[in-house]
Structure 1
């Protein structure tokens, strides 16, 4: 490589890396728990939070799709994020809730262990997610939020739910 081209190539590589790892912008996030981990999703994606009620099972559905519920006349698929993200199994209890989301014009429910609170995170409180191979597609983790002694894994819930392996949306 020519000495003149080297800085340009390095600049392009750094720009691509920073573009990929730019954390989500600041805003309000609903924090919830799956086991010992705390996650956060953009509050603007949330339609409502409901207590867990066993859904009607759908034959041949993937294990993470628990079934469907009738929510005021709308049939809503229920996805267990604990199963989808490869967490250990746990019994549902009085803290288990369904976060009802509006994703690309479709209503989808996600089962989580519990919800904590709504946190406002500024850009200084959000760090880029580390690169690693794990059960969650790294494109679905938008950053790591930190508030006092708490760390939240910030999820792009829309990217997670519209991924082809979920089967909730028709491939385009």
Structure 2
């Protein structure tokens, strides 16, 4: 397993470009499903509050539909067949987690979201990130991370922005640690033996020396956001 800094990795990838984010353009089916579920009758007011035109269905620019939603195979299934995986390691409190870079669009500093009255507690709200409706997820709550007596020194200061199946989503984290380049043999997909946190949103374990780092399943979190 090799490691490199997040700065080195993200310098080589233009995650902030319009092509990468699908900036502006039509709402995707996933965005519409999210808005109908959580914005309700206040949809127009909430979208305008974050600077997005609620009537842009026929807008020009990069459309959010076709190429961005054609991901029928789950990311977790595809990762099991990759000889080498790249991961972003990050911390929530004292616990390190990892997320596949294939799902990561960029990492940004925390921005306060606009709250949604109808959303569950793990959805902190929405932000406008380059013209896309972007829900922010409290990853600590979904993963069952409890900081105990050290809670005063722990807060989410960054957002890992992911995009899957037409929805751009931000996962709130405390800090980015490093980048991992991991051979398949260093991944344990038998997570049923893992104890200590909720495994509902974990797809596997990355072996880093004597440590086991939980791999967060972006697809499972996305399903949770859209189905609840």
| Fold agreement, TM-score > 0.5 | yes
Report the count of equivalent residues.
143
1:157 to 218, 223, 227: 218
In structure 1, list runs of 5 or more residues that go unmatched.
1-22
Q: What is the aligned partner in structure 2 of residue 4 from structure 1?
A: none
User: Which structure's residues are more often helix, by fraction?
Assistant: 2
Q: What is the aligned partner in structure 1 of residue 144 from structure 2?
A: 86
CA distance 1:100–1:143, shift in 2 (3 Å): same
Q: What is the aligned partner in structure 1 of residue 123 from structure 2?
A: 65
CA distance 1:92–1:66, shift in 2 (3 Å): farther
User: What does residue range 1-172 of structure 1 map to in structure 2 within 5 Å?
Assistant: 24=80, 25=82, 26-88=84-146, 90=151, 96-131=157-192, 135-137=198-200, 140-163=201-224, 166=225, 168=226
Q: Within 2, Cα distance between the matches of 1:156 and 1:62?
A: 19
User: Which structure's residues are more often strand, by fraction?
Assistant: 1
Determine if contact 2:88/2:176 at 8 Å carries over to the other structure. yes
**More deviation in 128-137 or 62-71?**
128-137
In structure 2, list runs of 5 or more residues that go unmatched.
1-78
Q: CA deviation at 1:27?
A: 0.7
**Higher Rg of the two aligned structures:** 1
Q: CA deviation at 1:67?
A: 0.5
Q: CA deviation at 1:131?
A: 1.5
Q: Within 2, Cα distance between the matches of 1:155 and 1:74?
A: 23
Q: Within 2, Cα distance between the matches of 1:92 and 1:79?
A: 20
Determine if contact 2:206/2:213 at 8 Å carries over to the other structure. yes
Q: TM-score, normalised by structure 2?
A: 0.56
3-state SS of 1:159 partner: helix
